[in-house]
Every structure is written in structure tokens, then in C-alpha cells.
């Protein structure tokens, strides 16, 4: 009986304990529920803030797009047009995308444009499209990383046109898409986007014709290459300062920065090198283009009056081209706009600056 009693007691005790346990569980459940509710609410608020921010950015972009569309409808007056059909512009990598549109728009403004492309067949076809529209566009092959192609182009340009007045360095490559940060093509990216652009600037400067309005160089770059961007910047503060300070900035420093980066990619240590974390190689190539633009503006400012060359760079935005897999929110026409505007600035006093949507932005 004792045994039974104790068994009954035990049986009686069970529901009681269960009730207690249920009660305790209820307590912790509701606490957990409350915490979860708070987390959900915070997460929801964060998401709402993000989507509000995105919405505001979208609205700002749309507003600016409308302003620029309006500006583009205002024709240049005669006294603003320093150029004529005798003005020669050269655009690199112009068989498609933003480069093609830059050629198109410059030619619509009445400039004679040399459309260049590394592949002769596609370049000729692209030029033909514009020629059929009655525009002064001519083709020549130019691979910005091939010294023999650059030499042949310089000779042809000198012989046929006696030089040039506008250079748009547009050719470029990128192998990163979405959130993928690829580094296996880093060398090609740096060699094309930075060293290729530099090759063409060096080859073209002696061919730039003297004029009262000054010759112009426009480099198509990217905000991803900003030295002091909020995100994705170089982690090494001292290197950033050296690249920023005009007294310490030099071609050797820019070259050394990109070659150090490439060496670290090769030996696998780049991840701890403090380089930009997304679109790393592309960002580095454009950072080099931006800093080289500032450096060259200083060098070229020493040229005498009448032989001035002004140099600026710009970001075309996120443009629907082959480079982005046709994602992005800007058309190639809009992406070309700031480059064309910079090339044709009526009173060119601007040099060594970085632009986006016809406005100066910080490097």
C-alpha cells in the first residue's frame, strides 16, 4: 500500500509539476515572444528605413534625370560653341555601350569623331551606323594595351587629321557582377583600365592641337574608385593620405599602389591588405584612374596659354551595358551625357575634377 500510496502520490504529483512546468514555460515563452516581437519590430523599422532611403535616392535620381533631360534640350549658343566640324575627338572602346553613345552625341553636336575599337570588324560596323545617320564619324582600330596598335593609330591620326582636340578614355573591362568579387582577372583589369588609359593619354598629349579653348581629356571612371568614399575605400589611412595630398601624389606612387595590390592577389594575401572589399580589382583600377587624372591636371596646368590641356574624370552611373549584364538604372545615352558635357564645356576652367550627373563630386 505504502508503495501504492506513494505511487498514487507520485501520480498526483505529476500533473501538478506539469502545471508548474507549463506555467514556467508560459513565462519564458511570453518573454521570448516579447523579445522576438521587439526584434521583429526593430528589423521591420530597419527595413522600412532602408526602403525609405532607397526610395528617397530613387526620387533624387529621377529628379536629377529630369533636370538633365531638360538641360540636354537647351542648345549651345553660337558664342558657347568653341568647336566646329574641324574639331577632332577620339573615343576609345567605342564599338558599343557608353563609348558608342559618347561618339554619337559628340557627332550630333557637330564634332568630327574618330570611333576606335580593338576589334576592327565591329568598330567599322558601329561607325557605319552613325555615318548612315549623316554624322562625321570615322573608324580606326585601337587596342589600348597594344603598343603597336597605339603607334599605328598615332601615325594615322597625325597624317590624316594633324592631331586631335578631345580625347575620351572610355575603354574598360570588369569581371565582377552583383555580389561576386572576382580576382582571377585582376591583372587584365588593372592593365586595361589604368595602364591602358595612361598609355593613351601619354600617346595623345603630343598630338593635342594648340587652341585658345584648350584641348580636353575626359576619363570615364567610377565612384567605386573614390579614395574617400563612405564604403569600399582603401583601409590604409596613410596610403589614402599620400594619394590625396598633391605634394606626395606621383605616378610612381599610383603605379606602386596597383602593383602592390596585384602582387598580393598573386601571393593570396590581398584579403588582409586593406583593399576595397567589393569589385576590388575594378575599384582599384578606377581609383588609379581618378588619382592619375588629378596628377595629370597638375602637370598639364604648367603648359603655356594656348597649349592648355584640361583633364577631368566622371562616373556615368550604373548603366545598362554589356559590362553590367544590362542591369543598372541608367541608359547608355544618359551614361554618356556627363562625358560629352565635360568635353564640350564652353569656358573650360575646370581641370582635375571628378563629376557625376554634371555635378562635381569628391574624389
CB of 285 to ligand NAP, least distance (A): 8
Neighbours of 312 (CB within 10 A): 25
Active site residue 282: yes
| Cβ distance to ligand NAP smaller for residue 192 or 348 | 192
Q: Binder to ligand NAP among 324, 345, 350, 356 (CB under 6 A)?
A: 324
| Cβ distance to ligand NAP smaller for residue 308 or 343 | 343
CB of 42 to ligand NAP, least distance (A): 34
322 binds ligand NAP (CB under 6 A): yes
97 binds ligand NAP (CB under 6 A): yes
Q: Which residues of 189-203 are buried (b: 16+ CB within 10 A; e: fewer)?
A: bbbbbbbbbbbbbeb
276 binds ligand NAP (CB under 6 A): no
Dihedral of CA atoms 335, 339, 340, 344 in degrees, nearest 10, equals 160
Q: How many residues bind ligand NAP (CB under 6 A)?
A: 31
* Segment near ligand NAP (CB under 6 A); pick from 2-10, 16-24, 95-103, 344-352: 95-103
C-alpha count within 13 angstroms, C-beta hemisphere, residue 197: 30
Could you give phi then psi for residue 107, rounded to 5 degrees? -65, -35
User: Distance of CA 162 to CAs 50, 65, 111, 195, Å?
Assistant: 54, 38, 15, 25
Which residues neighbour 214 within 8 Å (Cβ) at sequence distance 6 or greater? 308, 309, 310, 348
Query: Strand, coil or helix: what is 90?
Result: strand
CB of 317 to ligand NAP, least distance (A): 6
Query: Which one, of 180, 177, 196, 181, lies nearest residue 281 by Cα?
Result: 181
Q: Binder to ligand NAP among 315, 340, 343, 344 (CB under 6 A)?
A: 315
173 binds ligand NAP (CB under 6 A): yes
Q: Binder to ligand NAP among 183, 319, 342, 344 (CB under 6 A)?
A: 319
316 binds ligand NAP (CB under 6 A): yes
Angle between helix axes 147-161 and 197-204 (nearest 10 degrees) is 30
93 binds ligand NAP (CB under 6 A): yes
Identify whether the C-beta of residue 254 lies closer than 8 Å to the C-beta of residue 288: yes
Which residues neighbour 90 within 8 Å (Cβ) at sequence distance 6 or greater? 113, 114, 116, 157, 164, 166, 167, 168, 204
Q: Binder to ligand NAP among 103, 107, 135, 144 (CB under 6 A)?
A: 144
C-alpha cell at 199: 598609355
| Cβ distance to ligand NAP smaller for residue 99 or 352 | 99
Q: Binder to ligand NAP among 115, 171, 265, 295 (CB under 6 A)?
A: 171
Q: Binder to ligand NAP among 321, 338, 348, 351 (CB under 6 A)?
A: 321
Which residues are catalytic, by number?
282
- Residues lying near ligand NAP in the complex (CB under 6 A) are found at 92-93, 95-99, 117-119, 143-145, 170-174, 192, 196, 220, 222, 315-316, 318-319, 321-324, 328
Amino acid at each position: 500500500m505504502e508503495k501504492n500510496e506513494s505511487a498514487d502520490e507520485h501520480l498526483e504529483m505529476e500533473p501538478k509539476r506539469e502545471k508548474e512546468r507549463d506555467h514556467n514555460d508560459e513565462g519564458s515563452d511570453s518573454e521570448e515572444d516579447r523579445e522576438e516581437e521587439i526584434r521583429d519590430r526593430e528589423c521591420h523599422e530597419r527595413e522600412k528605413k532602408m526602403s525609405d532611403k532607397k526610395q528617397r535616392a530613387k526620387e533624387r535620381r529621377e529628379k536629377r534625370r529630369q533636370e538633365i533631360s531638360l538641360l540636354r534640350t537647351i542648345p549651345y549658343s553660337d558664342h558657347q560653341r568653341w568647336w566646329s566640324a574641324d574639331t577632332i575627338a577620339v573615343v576609345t572602346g567605342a564599338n558599343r555601350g557608353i563609348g558608342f553613345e559618347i561618339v554619337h552625341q559628340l557627332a550630333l553636336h557637330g564634332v568630327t569623331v574618330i570611333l576606335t575599337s580593338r576589334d576592327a570588324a565591329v568598330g567599322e560596323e558601329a561607325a557605319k551606323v552613325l555615318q548612315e545617320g549623316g554624322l562625321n564619324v570615322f573608324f580606326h582600330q585601337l587596342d589600348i594595351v597594344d603598343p603597336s596598335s597605339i603607334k599605328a593609330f598615332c601615325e594615322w591620326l597625325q597624317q590624316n587629321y594633324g592631331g586631335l582636340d578631345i580625347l575620351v578614355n572610355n575603354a574598360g573591362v570588369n569581371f565582377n557582377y552583383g555580389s561576386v568579387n572576382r580576382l582571377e582577372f585582376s591583372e587584365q583589369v588593372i592593365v586595361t583600365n589604368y595602364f591602358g588609359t595612361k598609355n593613351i593619354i601619354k600617346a595623345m598629349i603630343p598630338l593635342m592641337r594648340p587652341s585658345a579653348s584648350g584641348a580636353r581629356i575626359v576619363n570615364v571612371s567610377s565612384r567605386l574608385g573614390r579614395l574617400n568614399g563612405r564604403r569600399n575605400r582603401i583601409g590604409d589611412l596613410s596610403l589614402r593620405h599620400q594619394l590625396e595630398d598633391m605634394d606626395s601624389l606621383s605616378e610612381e606612387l599610383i603605379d606602386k599602389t596597383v602593383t602592390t595590390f596585384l602582387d598580393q592577389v598573386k601571393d593570396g594575401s590581398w584579403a588582409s591588405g586593406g583593399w576595397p572589399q567589393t569589385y576590388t580589382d575594378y575599384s582599384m583600377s578606377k581609383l588609379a584612374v581618378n588619382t592619375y587624372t588629378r596628377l595629370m591636371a597638375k602637370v598639364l596646368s604648367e603648359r603655356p596659354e594656348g597649349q592648355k590641356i584640361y583633364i577631368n574624370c566622371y562616373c556615368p552611373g550604373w548603366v545598362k551595358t554589356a559590362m553590367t549584364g544590362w542591369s543598372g538604372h541608367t541608359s547608355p545615352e544618359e551614361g554618356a551625357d556627363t562625358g560629352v558635357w565635360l568635353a564640350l564645356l564652353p569656358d573650360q576652367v575646370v581641370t582635375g575634377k571628378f563629376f557625376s550627373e554634371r555635378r562635381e563630386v569628391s574624389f
